[in-house]
Amino acid sequence: MVASTQAQSILTNKDLIQMAELGMGEAIIISQIENSNNDFDVSTSALLAMKKAGLSDAVLAKVIEAGNNTAKKVVDPNDPLAPHRPGIYYFDETGSMLELLPTVTAQKKDKGRLGTALSYGIAKTKIVSTISGENSRTQLPVAREFYFYFNQQTTSFDQSAISYYGFQQATSPNEFTLAKLDNVKGVRELETGSMNNYGSEIGIDEKHARSFSIEQMGAGIFKVTPSELAAGEYCFVYAGAAPYAQAQQKLYDFGVGLVSAAGVISQE
């Protein structure tokens, strides 16, 4: 029974520092580490703090081993600093951290080709990507912070799970664009380029882009705070490869301010 209780206890860096300050020996501390679950921070700064507190190299080696042992590691899924699979996350109204799942553009088309022809190639033809449905499955009553996780974290991830578009190539939210989507005839559209007889432009149109601030919280962990967003549909899209003709791309879509207190979506 005692062994079971020990196995269920969760050790933290603070616990180990307190044990060292109380004068507990190396053997006792190592035994506690081996028989407990943990929520150890094994970053360089955390290891330095424990070393300064008097923990031996042998204890620190055990901390690193236990902190990287998935069978022993206990993580709070609602802690922004805890390891998460690479992707974008947000907090819902209950305080739970949820993943913002991606969707895929359904169709590429051009708009205004006739105008280009009638203007002898001066007027621009717009290239748009469409997303099925008037509204995203993720609806937020108000704009909120998002958390971006990339695979540069010290914690090891299952590489087969790191497959979401953009998070293999990108290393920070600077490489993503937050864009406003247009609602047109039952679908959402994102302008991704334009062309006429004199040239072409590829990428998210500036009038659809929305600004956001970035705060790095840890290795590969960033908090992204959008500027004020009016009610409507939005998406994060990897700017390193914006959608183009004959191509499909994943994007991370969500709605803001369209959900009533009863959870009913209202149109703009």
- Interval 108-114 mean pLDDT: 58
Q: What is the pLDDT of residues 136-149, one digit of tens each?
A: 999 999 999 999 99
All residues at 6 or more sequence positions from 65 whose CB lies less than 8 Å from its CB, including other chains: none
d(CA 243, CA 47): 44
Tens-digit pLDDT profile for residues 176-193: 999 999 998 889 988 875
Helix (H, G, I), strand (E, B) or coil at 5: helix
69 is written with which tokens?
């042992």
Length in residues, the chain: 268
Spatial separation of the C-alpha atoms in residues 11 and 21, rounded to whole Å: 16
Average pLDDT, the chain: 79
Torsion of CA 10, 13, 16, 22, to 10 degrees: -120
> What's the pLDDT score for residue 107?
66
Q: Which pTM was predicted?
A: 0.66
More confident residue, 226 or 244: 226
Q: Is the pLDDT of residue 195 over 60?
A: no
Q: What is the residue type of 209?
A: A
Beta bridge partners of 221: 149, 218
Please count the helices (runs of H) and the strands (runs of E) in the chain.
Answer: 6, 17
Q: Which helix (H) or strand (E) holds 19?
A: helix 13-21
Q: Is the pLDDT of residue 197 over 90?
A: no
The model's pLDDT over 145-168, given as tens digits with 9 standing for 90+, comes to 999 998 754 443 333 433 445 566
pLDDT average, residue stretch 53-82: 89
**Per-residue pLDDT tens digits for 120-135:** 455 566 678 888 899 9
List the structure tokens of 257. Answer: 């301010």
Domain coordinates in residue numbering, the chain: 2-67, 87-256
